[in-house]
Every structure is written in structure tokens, then in C-alpha cells.
Structure 1
Amino acid sequence: MLNRIILIGRLVADPQLRYTQTGIAVTNFTLAVDRPFLNQSGEREADFIDIVTWRKQAEICANHLTKGRLVAVEGRLQIRSYEDQNGIRRKAAEVVANSVRFLDRARDFGSEEPVEGPPEPEFDDVPF
């Protein structure tokens, strides 16, 4: 059996970091993923998919991701049931991420200049 999902999209809001009672970090965020076709009005629509990350990955996402960042998420689909405030049984679908890759560079407080990152590799030194 296989339960694997790969998504590429943009965060619709900053990730929300919290900790379980046992001190394990968990971060939630929503990813906007464009559909591969246009609707009848000729406009592109998107799906809004809830993502959950755990432990060190949760802390990294919370500290380095912000609204609008482009990421790739690989994980598994999880359907969970809960009871709402009115006692009605509900279901929620979310992707539990195994890995989150940052596909763009962070911007420094909204400026157009990218934040300094690691130096680019020197291809003159590659032995092939």
C-alpha cells in the first residue's frame, strides 16, 4: 500500500508553531496549490491544503517560512475525525509532511533584495 503526496505551492499565512504537552514541536500551515487548468471564466483556481510538520522540521518551518513562500512538501495524507462544539462528528484532511523544501529565497522584511544565504558553488572547481 502507498500513501504519498507531493505538493508545490505558496503559504497562505505564516506557520503556527506550538508544542505538545510532552514538548514536541508541531507546526501547521496552509498551502495554496494551483490547479492545472483554467475554470470556465478562464481563471486559475487553487486548492488550499493543510500541512502539519513535527519536531525539528516544525521549528525550521516556523522560523524560516512566511506567507507567500514557495515550498515543496512530500508527505502522507491523513484523515482524522473530531467532534465540533455542537457535538457533530467532523472529518479533517491534512498532509503530514516528511520533508519540506524551500524553493525560493526569503526576502528581508518585504524588500526586493534576497537575504544573504550560503555562497554559490564554484563550478570551475568541479572535476568533471
Structure 2
Amino acid sequence: MHDTVTIVGNVATDPTLGRTASGIPVTNFRLASTHRRFDDATQTWIDVATNWYSVAAFRQLAEHAKVSLRSGDSVIVTGRMKIRAWENNGKQGTSVDIDADVIGHDLRWGTTAYRRSARSTPDQKERGRVEDGDDAPPASSRREPADVDTSWADRDAVPGPDRELVDQSSPSARLTF
């Protein structure tokens, strides 16, 4: 039986990329999810318990996870959970595994720069004809929402330290990075 779960936690081990017996890319890492609570007596937050998960990502998600994730990153993982018993050298235990469908950085704790990669069909891969933007919708179908003014920012630029952006629709609104 498989349950779909979403776990928020920290990457505990650097992801490793391998291949299944049939050649499918797979990236594995451990995920730690620590539960906290506020202690009224000490007026501080305390760690209560940490749950550990073994995460596996396959195919293109595996390749992206290997390039994007590092130990210590705050992430959100959604996938199919499996609980299994294990035995090794006379020791027994239970493992909670997640076959990831989606992995993303938790933007509450940091920033990330997203870069869309080109998709390819098996035929394009064989002929080596994958180009950036092959998976992008035609220019005529791309549009910004009508109520969003993006004229104040270069959409491809990432603000650097001490760089200020001014929202043209509200001169008093300034964002400093």
C-alpha cells in the first residue's frame, strides 16, 4: 500500500545519483523532519523529535535533484510513502521510504534561482536534437496576467546585494536585496 505524503524537512545527506538495473537515473538522499514546540516554562522553542526518511527520485527529477540539492537544504518533498521492515547483521528496524513525485526548496528559509530545462522526446535524444525552449509554449500563447505590472523588473535578472528595485505602480514601495 502506498500513501501520498508531503514532508517538510532538511536534506541530511548529499544526494547520490545512480542508475537502476534498467538504466533509469535515480537520486537518493536522507531527509530529516524535526518537530518543534514552544515550551511555556522556558519561553523558547525546543526540538521534540526527528523523523527520518529515505527519499528516491527517478528519471529527470533524479537528475535535477542531484544538481540542485545539498546537505542542509530546506526542502518540501511530495511522494509515495512505503514503510518496510529491514534486517542487517542481526539488527532489525523499520524504514520509511518516499518515492518522490515533487521536490522543491522551502523558500521560507532561503532563496533559489529556477532555470527551466528543455524536455526531449526519445526520438530527439537519439538524434541529439534537443534545444533550449523545445518545451516552451509558443510565444503567442505566453502572456503575463493583465493585473500584474512587471515593467519595473528585468525578469531574467537576479537582484544582487544592496540593489534596490522600485515598483513603478507604488513609488513608496522599495525592495532592497
- 1:79, distance to aligned residue in structure 2 (A): 2.7
Unpaired stretches in structure 2, ≥5 consecutive residues = 116-143, 148-177
Task: Tell whether the 8 Å contact from 2:9 to 2:34 is kept in structure 1 after alignment.
Answer: yes
Q: Which amino acid aligns with 1:25?
A: P
| 1:58 and 2:77 matched | no
- 1:50, distance to aligned residue in structure 2 (A): 1.4
2:99 to 77, 96, 100: 96
Alignment-derived partner of residue 135 in structure 2: none
Cα distance, 1:49–1:67 mapped onto 2, change above 3 Å: same
Using the alignment, how far apart are the partners of 2:14 and 2:53 within structure 1? Answer: 14
Q: Which structure has the higher relative contact order (CA within 8 Å, separation 6+)? A: 1
- 1:25, distance to aligned residue in structure 2 (A): 0.8
User: If each structure's strand is expressed as a fraction of its own residues, which one has the higher value?
Assistant: 1
| Aligned pairs (5 A) from 1:31-50 | 31-37=31-37, 43-45=46-48, 46-50=50-54
| 1:127 and 2:146 matched | yes
Larger radius of gyration: 2
Q: Deviations over 1:23-77 (max 9, x none)?
A: 11111111111214368x9631422221111111011101111011111111111
Task: Give the structure-2-normalised TM-score.
Answer: 0.52
Q: Which amino acid aligns with 1:18?
A: G
CA root-mean-square deviation: 2.8
- 1:18, distance to aligned residue in structure 2 (A): 0.7
Question: For 1:95, what is the secondary structure of its paired residue?
Answer: strand
Using the alignment, how far apart are the partners of 1:68 and 1:90 within structure 2? Answer: 25
Unpaired stretches in structure 1, ≥5 consecutive residues = 107-115, 119-124
Task: Give the structure-1-normalised TM-score.
Answer: 0.69
Question: For 1:59, what is the secondary structure of its paired residue?
Answer: helix
Question: For 1:61, what is the secondary structure of its paired residue?
Answer: helix
Question: For 2:65, what is the secondary structure of its paired residue?
Answer: helix
Aligned residues: 112
Using the alignment, how far apart are the partners of 2:61 and 2:114 within structure 1? Answer: 19
Task: Tell whether the 8 Å contact from 2:2 to 2:82 is kept in structure 1 after alignment.
Answer: no
Question: For 1:66, what is the secondary structure of its paired residue?
Answer: coil
Structure 1 ranges of 4+ moved more than 4 A: 88-91
